[in-house]
Structure 1
């Protein structure tokens, strides 16, 4: 199967097996999922300034030289890329920025990590629900600079460098992580490595989100491996991302949910 066709067939499979709220058997997952849908409904008029920023970035034709250390982009294959194209093809949609915002709100949100700053849209969505400190990590100097061009959230630290190295240093400093969004590199080895670095530093109340879990065959494979890890109690598959919960009081289960 050609690489660029993989997400299409993966989505067909997802479409036929996904569940809505009426099919969910777990009371906890039912409440969590309905909480997400309610949050999205109530947030229609929220954070509109961030969507103004998105439109600004979509109209920004500055050329950036991107240091791409991962699987790259299916659409953007050259190192010199327009900010507008990066925003269009490599940033989360508003729908998923809000999903991440919702799930960070379901944690204590004192220490939050974002792996993969990109142009900084998810960063700003997350920052609005972070009660303590948000650390966002980026390996490309051009993106690290671009993400900070507009007003920076006061609770956010932008960290540049090799993610394996900078993540390890930050973990030693903060010890316990409430929420992590893994949206960087997009290879099997790197994604598994990030998960394994973070895992010893989570609590029962922590949540990890992994972006682009069906973006490629290897991302699908690493998601399938991670979701059955013995420390993962509940996994939620929203196609574009996966959500992991670790509360040992909950009943184990994997859910593929319509979104």
Structure 2
């Protein structure tokens, strides 16, 4: 009983300890020695500032979901939610606790815009907020994957976002079959299941379809010990030349001059 209590306490305190480690190690732009990275980092903040009045309709959609009293049945194939982990969940709760903020949605937009953005893949549609942001940056086709039928029903746009292709079903089946139809992936966001095995598997499958200018984002890299473990393995992959830790997500670049580098950045 005492051992179980200690383990439970450690698990609950993990996010706080993880954020403390991030806070102690994070760097601002003035600490960066690489001119290219300094410029890219500054461009990220300039991008967010320049787009502060753009895509506000997506935030109206978010507010609509947050005020919804609809309850849906959720098919969960991953680690589940830390806060709302029942089969039946309120749309408002899923939106509140499981979707990216506008700031991080724009971060994904920015890094997507650094690629050709012709083929973009998102694992973990959730309520479709991030999908809508990525759709606006995608120059070709966006393929977004959701495991839960009911979540996908709510998330699917009724109009607009014509380049968005929503694929429903368990990722173990839907991702490999879709990847077979794609020649190359320019940008990918892996934000599904939140398990070590699942995240690493999806990353490696996507990596096989990338090119040197591709960028891959990994969501919730400090969500659990499993996610921190997989983030470390992803960073160590020989094809990854630069990794950026923004706490709520990690960004990996496959093309970067100089030695393999890893940064923890303030955001």
Q: 1:202 matched to which residue of 2? A: 210
1:241 counterpart = 2:249: yes
Q: 1:75 matched to which residue of 2? A: 83
Which structure 2 residues correspond to residues 65-214 of structure 1 after superposition, within 5 A? 65-214=73-222
Asked whether the 8 Å contact 1:4–1:74 carries over to 2, the reply is: no
Asked whether the 8 Å contact 2:220–2:227 carries over to 1, the reply is: yes
Distance 1:130 1:241 in 2: 20
Query: What's the CA shift for 1:4?
Result: 2.7
Alpha carbons of 1:129 and 1:250: their partners in 2 closer, same or farther (altered >3 Å)? farther
Q: Write the deviation string for residues 108-156 of structure 1: whole angstroms up to 9, x where unpaired.
A: 0000000000000000000001000000001100111111154341011
Rg larger for:
2
Distance 2:72 2:242 in 1: 39
Query: What's the CA shift for 1:251?
Result: 3.5
1:32 counterpart = 2:62: no
Asked whether the 8 Å contact 2:242–2:256 carries over to 1, the reply is: no
Partner-residue secondary structure (3-state), 1:136 = strand
Q: Unpaired segments of 5 or more residues in structure 2?
A: 1-8
Q: Write the deviation string for residues 69-106 of structure 1: whole angstroms up to 9, x where unpaired.
A: 10101101111100000000000011100100111000
Distance 1:205 1:17 in 2: 28
Asked whether the 8 Å contact 1:204–1:248 carries over to 2, the reply is: no
Q: Unpaired segments of 5 or more residues in structure 1?
A: none
TM-score (norm 1): 0.98
Q: How many corresponding residue pairs?
A: 259
Q: Write the deviation string for residues 166-221 of structure 1: whole angstroms up to 9, x where unpaired.
A: 11111110121000000100000000000111111101100000000000010001
TM-score (norm 2): 0.95
